[in-house]
Chains A and B, each alone.
Chain A
């Protein structure tokens, strides 16, 4: 079946530290991969996406590369800010299985000044 395994949190970093949040997936075929961010009291917002192998999604200094050989889509940012404090969700999408998204468990990030 389809599933996403995400690094457990919570993660606490100092401002300007390097961030990595690991995400691996299980799926047949070629799913699209996403990172969503949820700020306190808000819904999920798309952060970045990649639709095929070796694609790199990037936005607001965050990056993730679709690695089919390792079935991974790790989220990275070189220098985090306090405003990056949020919960991050890795997700995959398969159009041939009911147009459904499959989400990881979410990783809470807190950035301290």
Chain B
């Protein structure tokens, strides 16, 4: 299994500012992902964080708005840029090893933009 530490657990931010969320995995993993969970809805994949290269973004998400870094196999960051109230959501980091299909999740970051 893998333990994922995600921080901050919650934040209240002013519109127009940016927030960086950190995700630390306790062991080396192949795949790391970032999801958004809007109130009362399911998880939507934002992007796959690739180690040493640019993240792969899903339709509707762009690098300028959600820059992602993954400098090594155990750490990734997601930045929510130029925030608006519509960005209020829970952001979840996830990881799994290619050979083991189980996905592990951080506890999430609850973001409120005012």
Answer whether residue B42 sits at the interface, using C-beta atoms and an 8 A cutoff.
yes
Whether B41 is near chain A, meaning CB under 8 Å from some CB there, is: yes
Q: How far is the CA of A99 from the CA of B102 in the complex (A)?
A: 11
CB–CB A51/B107 < 8 A: no
Q: Say whether B102 contacts A49, CB under 8 Å.
A: yes
What is the distance, in angstroms, from B33's C-beta to the closest C-beta of chain A?
A: 8
| Closest Cβ–Cβ distance, residue B47 to chain A (whole Å) | 11
A42-B107 contact given A51-B101, A93-B101, A99-B31, CB 8 Å threshold: yes
Taking the closest CB of chain B, its distance from the CB of A58, in whole angstroms, is 15
Bound-state CA distance A32–B101 (Å) is 8
Name the one of A45, A93, A99 contacting B105, with C-beta atoms under 8 angstroms.
A45
Interface flags for B88-114 (1: CB within 8 Å of A; 0: not) read 000010101010011111111000000
From 32 to 48 in chain A, residues with beta carbon under 8 angstroms from any chain B beta carbon are 32, 34, 36, 41-46
Contact yes or no, A46 B42, CB < 8 A: no
The interface size of chain B toward A, counting residues with CB under 8 Å, comes to: 22
Considering the complex, give the chain A residue whose CB is closest to the CB of B109.
A43
Q: Residues of B contacting A73 with CB < 8 Å?
A: none
Is A100 an interface position by the 8 A CB rule? yes
Query: Given A98-B48, A99-B31, A99-B98, A44–B42 Cβ distance below 8 Å?
Result: no
A22 to chain B, nearest CB (A): 15
Q: A89-B43, A100-B45 are in contact. Are A43 and B105 (CB under 8 A)?
A: yes
